[in-house]
Structure 1
Amino acid sequence: MNEQIKQIADRLKGLRDALELQPEEMAQVCNIDTNTYLGYESGVKDIPVSVLHQIAQHYSIELPTLMFGNEPRMSSYFLTRKGKGAAVERTKAYKYQSLAAGFINRKADPFMVTVEPNRNEVPFTLNTHPGQEFNLIIEGKCLLRIGGKELILEEGDSIMFDSMREHGMKALGNKPVKFLAVIL
């Protein structure tokens, strides 16, 4: 089990315990079944950022608190230098780097996301979460699936979409794809 995923799972369980909630209640907030939620909380299953975002919004906590264990403190500005944002590698395929983890009361969550090429051609995971999402491709080429539609995005392309629609991405070719993702 990836140590970072285990730490996120522990924080998720700690939040549920602190709020004195049952697993069924947390699963309902995420629109998932209880067994799936318990898989996330145990660290056995990879926890989609979209699920963490839903929990953070619903319980009015900061997403970086769940992802990185740090409480944001800055209220006037928060600077992230190139390559220095708080990072979590949820799977070998996805790496998230928060670009505003230290800014309190954010209206959006910006991430630099790197998706490694899928050499085994395993189907990519589709996620949903409330709100909207903006993606700007910085490097590489990817296949983005939104609902039943598949789109090819290349460097410089951007897309804004309703994130309640099932969506997922995979890198095309033998190069990773790097993109800016802003979850609103």
Structure 2
Amino acid sequence: MEGNFEQDNVREITRRIAELRDACGYSQDEFAQKLGIDPQVYHAYEQNASAIPVSLICNIANLCGVELSEIMTGISAKLHTLQIVRSGEAKSMKRYPGYRLEDLAHRFANKTMQPIMVTILPNDPPAPLVSHGGQEFNYVLEGSIELRWGEKSFVLEAGDSVYFDPVHEHGQRCVGEKPARFLTIIAE
């Protein structure tokens, strides 16, 4: 019985690794190449995780920008506050301490959400920095915006998204010569 439990646990780790690889947009061969191991060896690891070295799992966590505990337990860390996902570049997410995009539905479950469509013109003055409770998700539809978040500043293009803790002062402004439109969802 104990052996079955351990084997089931190992299968879950393997499943999470394969899902993470898919979410980052890698084939098995590409992933093996990024990890610096023989593709046949990696294929065997995904089929039978009992042989996978913990050091390799650490390398996978680093490559995909997740905590080792997320792979081992399936539970996302809650210490994160901001993540930017670049359009079409899932395999090279610009990751700050932040939630994975696929966690968004879970994080917004059973919350009151307030979706707002925002248009900012190139000559609009920067909005004052604000803070509020809840969680905020922005998805840029057109143009480019600069997100100021605490002491940091990020430029987001059409198709980019960001999820963050709005308790830190933040604000958005248009950058570029075309109007910027983005969808913002605030969940309390």
State the TM-score, normalizing by the size of structure 2. Answer: 0.39
Higher helix share: 2
State the TM-score, normalizing by the size of structure 1. Answer: 0.40
Q: Which has the larger radius of gyration?
A: 2
